[in-house]
Each structure stands twice: as structure tokens, then as C-alpha cells.
Amino acid sequence: MEVPQREFEAIRRLEEKLHLPEIRQSPEATGNLLAEEFVEFGSSGTIYDDRNSLIASLAAEKSETPSPPIIARDYAFRSISPDAVLVTYWSIRPAAEDGPARHVLRSSIWRRIRGRWQMIFHQGTPTTPDDRMV
């Protein structure tokens, strides 16, 4: 049995919430989206396996200079169990004063836990515009 396709749009919206500074800076909002066992392999190469430390780090971003909004596109969804979905997509953070544009291939696993979708895994792989496969 697969996750119904109609739920993919809801998962995409949850994924994109994590791009928003106002969500990232709210420990409560971020905590609702990230499962207790959440792990991330960041595009920087850092492994984040302490959810509470990651949430605190995201909340601290409010003191830094705001980044341009992330552009996300070319989403693909794959049911991996009746309660889990693999999401892949390309993202671009436009160039800012402190650096060039960042192109990243992203993958996340969302699992339905106690009736709501939460992210259990995320990986960001740095790419270049030329790496993008069509």
C-alpha cells in the first residue's frame, strides 16, 4: 500500500515551511516538523544527529543577516511504505552579499507519526547548475 498521491502536496508544503526564517527561528514550529529521531547530512558536510541542538541552532539564525529565500523546484515523491515518503528536489539560494548562489540537490524522508507528517531524514548535496539532470 502506498501513500495517496493527494498527500504529496501537503508534504511539499511542510518541506517548504522549513525554508522559512519564521519557522526555522521558532523551536516549537521546527519541533513539530522534525521527528525525535531526525538526522541530517547537511550540504556543508556536517551531520546533525542531535535534534534539540539543531533546533536551538536554527532559532539562533535570527541574529544573523537574513538570506535570500530558497527557490525549490522539480519535486519528486516516492512512497517507501504506507506511512513514509521520499522527497527529492533541487534548490537554489540566490547570491547574497556574503557569497554566490548555492545549488543543492535535496532529499528528505517524511513519516506519518501519530497521524501527522514529520521529517526523519534530510540530506543536502551541493551541486552546480550544470550538474542538474533533466
Q: Where are the domains of the chain?
A: 6-131
- The mean per-residue pLDDT over the stretch 72-91 comes to 96
Measured in residues, the chain has a length of 134
Higher pLDDT, 37 or 132: 37
Q: Which fold has domain 6-131?
A: Nuclear Transport Factor 2; Chain: A, (3.10.450)
CA distance 100 to 57: 23
H or E segment at 30? helix 27-33
> Residue 134 has what pLDDT?
41
- pLDDT tens-digit series, residues 32-79: 999 999 999 998 889 999 999 999 888 887 655 667 788 999 999 999
Q: Average model confidence (pLDDT) for the chain? A: 89
Q: How confident is the model at residue 17 (pLDDT cuts 50, 70, 90)?
A: very high
Mean of the pLDDT values across residues 123-134? Answer: 77
pLDDT at 86: 98
**Cα separation values, 104 from 24, 56, 58, 72, 117, Å:** 18, 23, 19, 9, 23
More confidently predicted of 134 and 22 = 22
